[in-house]
Amino acid sequence: MKLFNSLTMKKEEFVPLVPGKISMYVCGPTVYNLIHIGNARPMIVFDTARRYFEHKGYEVNYVSNFTDVDDKIIAKANEEGVTSEEISERYIEECKKDMAAMNVRPATTHPRATREIDGMIQMIETLIEKGFAYEVNGTVYFRTRKDPSYGKLSHKNLDDLRSGERSLLVTGEDQKEDPLDFVLWKPKKEGEPFWVSPWGDGRPGWHIECSVMSRKYLGETIDIHAGGEDLIFPHHENEIAQSECCNGVPFARYWLHNAFLNIDNRKMSKSLGNFFTVREISEKYDLQVLRFFMLSAHYRSPLNFSAELMESASNALERIVNAADNLRYLRENAEERELTDAEKELVSQAEAFAAQFDAAMDDDLNTADALAAVFELVRFANTNITASNAGKLIDFVENELSDLCGILGIFTQRKEVSLEEEVERLIQERQDARKAKDFARADAIRAELLAKGIQLLDTREGVKWKKI
């Protein structure tokens, strides 16, 4: 199996530190609001990587944190007149709901920054003792120039960062020894949460938390560290510097980074009005569609989100579910007998699709090609499996389809939808059609509901419905 290592900028054969086991850290969200679809991409991508590793027989210790102390959390708390803890607790729970809806499995451990402060203080003390950090007026900074390998992940040297790449400079103050030095500990401000430290009351910088949580739950050197490519600099670069200067050993052996998600070919931004939360997407689509969409491209390729592409993903996912439905239907009345020679040949052909799937995933987790193998299996099933086949053959093909989709976190069982949910969905679709002046579609939806015994009533308070 080969993975593209952002550290070396090439594909490398994956060999874990401990045979049969993988230690994996994925940077999680800062919890001050509902997660957006940009947050969803690494969640889905690296959950899928974990599932595939487990399919290969590895025991995976998967750690993904929640950043629950941050300027944005404090600002949100002040805006609402509540504590930062209330904000972070609320949005951690909401994040977990969205993750479950996307079929992202809980991590082995979900550490929270505020529960690991002691470990952060200890690491900062060690960095000061070793000369890699210094304190000025209650703020502790990391000396980037003391670390000879600083910049090895972002492939920038310090002189480039200082002179030609000012946009990459870490925010600096006059009290720093060097503009590139970054904060490990900051003094408290009025109305902010704080913890007691040797340098005064305050709170940790952002970067130190992941170094500490990774070391505590996975060890000083880990197999895989992953996250979005926007984290390469400064966050992941600074994690490496802190961890390796403190611990004296390599931090992570393989670095995996997913590419950006754009909306209608533009960067997602609230100011552009193209900012979508996962919760908003769930109002229009089952989040299995979002998961399928995220896996339809290689994780290192930029991905463009649009209504048209989501509709395409929805239709493609429907083909898989329909094929699985058909296989289960055929199985109900299939003969219980041994396979014929022709059916054994069909089993061999079906097995080839699983090998094709594994080959794609072994090539740097290529989910796009893995999905192509799934659709080859769907076409094979639709073309070759009939009611006259032995139950054993139908079982084999249905199980193989279910297993491959399961590795991708995609369900082949159709989700049961209540009448109320279906009616509300169609009413919303009708409202959208009317706004778009697609009155033919709006009338068709009214007729469709009427045929199901549902009458729509357009009132001043909105659309009401009743059974007739």
Give per-residue pLDDT as tens, 118-158: 999 999 999 999 999 999 999 999 999 999 999 999 998 87
Q: Contact at 8 Å (CB) between 210 and 241? A: no
- Which of these three, 355, 378, 407, is where a domain ends? 407
Give mean pLDDT, residues 155-172.
63
Query: Which residues 6+ apart lie within 8 Å of 432 measured at CB?
Result: none
pLDDT value for 130: 98
Print the domain residue range for 167: 12-258
Is 131 within a domain?
yes
Q: pLDDT grade, residue 467 (50/70/90)? A: confident
In a domain, 6, yes or no: no
Q: Rounded distance, CA 35 to CA 52, Å?
A: 25
Comparing 107 with 428, which gets the higher pLDDT?
107
Considering the domain architecture, whether residues 376 and 427 belong to the same structural domain is answered as: no
Domain boundary among 361, 385, 407: 407
**DSSP state string for 271-283:** TTT---BHHHHHT
Q: Does one domain contain both 49 and 189?
A: yes
How many Cβ atoms from other residues are within 10 Å of residue 157's Cβ? Answer: 12
- Tell me how far apart the alpha carbons of residues 263 and 313 are, in angstroms, rounded to a whole number: 15
Whether the predicted pLDDT of 171 surpasses 80: no
The whole model's pTM is what? 0.88
Q: What is the pLDDT of residue 423?
A: 85
Amino acid at 236: H
Q: What CATH number did the domain enclosing 192 receive?
A: 3.40.50.620
**Confidence class of residue 173 from pLDDT cuts 50, 70 and 90?**
low
Tokens linked to 320: 């898989």
pLDDT, mean of residues 70-95:
96
Per the CB < 8 A criterion, the answer to whether 83 and 28 are in contact is: no
Can you give the pLDDT at residue 165?
A: 45
Q: Within this chain, do residues 114 and 49 fall inside the same structural domain, yes or no?
A: yes
pLDDT value for 425: 81
Do 327 and 220 fall within a single domain? no
- Sheet with 21-26, strands from edge to edge, namely 59-64, 21-26, 222-228, 252-258
| pLDDT higher than threshold 80 for residue 366 | yes
The per-residue pLDDT for 166 is 47
Q: What is the mean pLDDT of residues 321-327?
A: 96
> Is 431 domain-assigned?
yes
**Secondary-structure percent of the chain, ordered helix, strand, coil, rounded to 5:** 50, 20, 30
pLDDT band for 163, please (50, 70, 90 cuts).
low
pLDDT at 174: 64
Is residue 43 domain-shared with residue 153, that is, in the same domain? yes
Q: Is 130 helix (H, G, I), strand (E, B) or coil?
A: coil
Q: Domain count for the chain, please give it.
A: 3
368 and 232 part of one domain = no
Co-location of 368 and 453 in the same domain:
no
Asked if residue 181 and residue 86 are part of one domain, the reply reads yes
Would the pLDDT of 167 be above 50? no
Please check whether residues 239 and 343 belong to one and the same domain: no
pLDDT of residue 150: 95
State residue 337's pLDDT score.
95
How confident is the model over 194-234, as pLDDT tens digits?
A: 999 999 999 999 999 999 999 999 999 999 999 999 999 99
Residues 221-272 have pLDDT tens digits of 999 999 999 999 999 999 999 999 999 999 999 999 999 999 988 888 777 7
